[in-house]
């Protein structure tokens, strides 16, 4: 079940273009939670770099709540 912080984060990601690129030692737990909800898709570039893209389900969640 989605939490209020999940909704804030997915709305923010959609508002800034639908993607987020993470490099380095960053806590990615909140993004992983959105992946588990089906709202983001993760593309691992290497051990320290991940790119996230909003899914159609994520776009729907951002506009619905």
Q: What is the pLDDT of residue 65?
A: 67
Q: What is the pLDDT of residue 39?
A: 98
Domains of the chain and any CATH numbers? 4-64 (1.10.10.10)
What are the tens digits of pLDDT across the range 9-48? 999 999 999 999 999 999 999 999 999 999 999 999 999 9
The model's pTM is 0.90
Determine the Cα–Cα distance for residues 22 and 48; give it in Å rounded to an integer: 8
CB 53 within 8 A of CB 41: yes
DSSP 10-23: HHHHHHTTSEEEEE
Q: What is the pLDDT of residue 64?
A: 86
* The CA-based dihedral angle spanning residues 25, 31, 36, 39, taken in that order and rounded to the nearest 10 degrees: -150
């Amino acid at each position: 079940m989605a939490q209020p912080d999940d909704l804030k984060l997915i709305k923010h990601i959609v508002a800034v273009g639908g993607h987020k690129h993470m490099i380095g030692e960053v806590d990615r737990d909140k993004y992983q939670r959105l992946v588990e909800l089906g709202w983001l898709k993760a593309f691992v570039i290497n051990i320290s770099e991940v790119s996230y893209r909003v899914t159609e389900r994520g776009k729907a969640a951002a506009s619905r709540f």
